[in-house]
Structure formats: C-alpha cells, structure tokens
Amino acid sequence: MDDDWFRSPEDTSESYGKYISAIYRHMQILIAAELAPFRIGSGQYIFLMTIAGKERITQKALSEELLIDKTTTTKAIAKLEAEGYVRREPDPVDNRYNLLYLTEAGRAVVPKVQEALDQIRHKSRNGISDEEYVFMLGMLKKVLRNVNEQVRNGEQQS
C-alpha cells in the first residue's frame, strides 16, 4: 500500500468501495494476529460473537444473518467446535435441525475476543471525534441498507 491511497482528493466520484475493501483486509490481518493465541481465525470470530449474542441459532439462520455462504459457515462452525468453543444440539422441536450453543470455554473466550476487537477499534479511531464517529456509523448504516436492498432484489430476479 503506497501513498496514493491517502493522497487522492476527496471528490464525489471517488469510490468508497476501495476503502471499505482495504479497511476490511487490514482488520482481518489485525484480528487474526490478536486472536491467534485463542486459535480463532479471522474468518471464525464473527460466528463465535454472533452465536454469543443469539444462542440456539441454527446454522442456516447464522449463515443468512451474516450473509456468508453455507460452505464457509459449516467450515467455520466445525473449526470452532473442534477448538471446543461451540457445540451443536438437535432442536428438540424438530431434530432435523441443529441449534448452536457456546461451550464453557466459548463463554470464557468471548470477553477476551471482545476486548481484542475493542482495542483494534479504539486505535483505528485515532483523530476521529465522537461526533464524526457517530456520523460515519450513520452513513455506513445507510450504505448497508442500500446494498442489502440490492442483494435482495438480485435474489428475487434470479
């Protein structure tokens, strides 16, 4: 990454997409480094944290919630299960489906993962005021709503 990334003037025709992609890739690298001691990969932490917020979720619902395909979801859950952080149990209502839970170890690791994520975020907010941060969040939510609508429209057409 050279200085071109930062030197370009801010104009309305410039793409925010390249910044989103670049921030995303940087965050994945930082998260991978921070979570390596817990044997949690940059592709798995998001599943762990979502299950922590919504226990008894099915793998299908998790996949839909995060908009991550089934294969990737299955692999990530298998990894988290192998590391002893997540367990699957048949749904008592319909045993064709499995519900996802955190294990004891999973519950114990969640605050540590949260702390690591908070630290990365804190450093990345350097030079950005609270007001600016809230404004940026609002913009990102608008963009997400718009792209989410585009994806839904695409799904209806196909």
CB 88 within 8 A of CB 98: yes
Number of shown-chain residues binding its own copies (CB under 8 A):
61
The verdict on 36 binding its own copies (CB under 8 A) reads no
The verdict on 62 binding its own copies (CB under 8 A) reads no
Q: Which of residues 69-128 bind its own copies (CB under 8 A)?
A: 117, 120-121, 123-128
From the list 81-89, 93-101, 102-110, 141-149, the region that binds its own copies by CB under 8 A is 141-149
- Give the pair of three-digit tokens for residue 131: 């007001």
Tell me the angle at which helices 104-124 and 45-53 cross, rounded to the nearest 10 degrees: 110
Question: Distance between CA atoms of 43 and 6, rounded to whole angstroms?
Answer: 28
Q: What is the DSSP letter of 102?
A: E
Tracing tokens 């298998």 back to the chain, one arrives at: 78
| Residue of 39, 66, 81, 112 that binds its own copies (CB under 8 A) | 66
Question: Distance between CA atoms of 13 and 112, rounded to whole angstroms?
Answer: 41
List of residues contacting its own copies (CB under 8 A): 1-2, 5-6, 10-12, 14-27, 29-30, 33, 46, 64-68, 117, 120-121, 123-128, 130, 132-148, 150-151, 154, 158
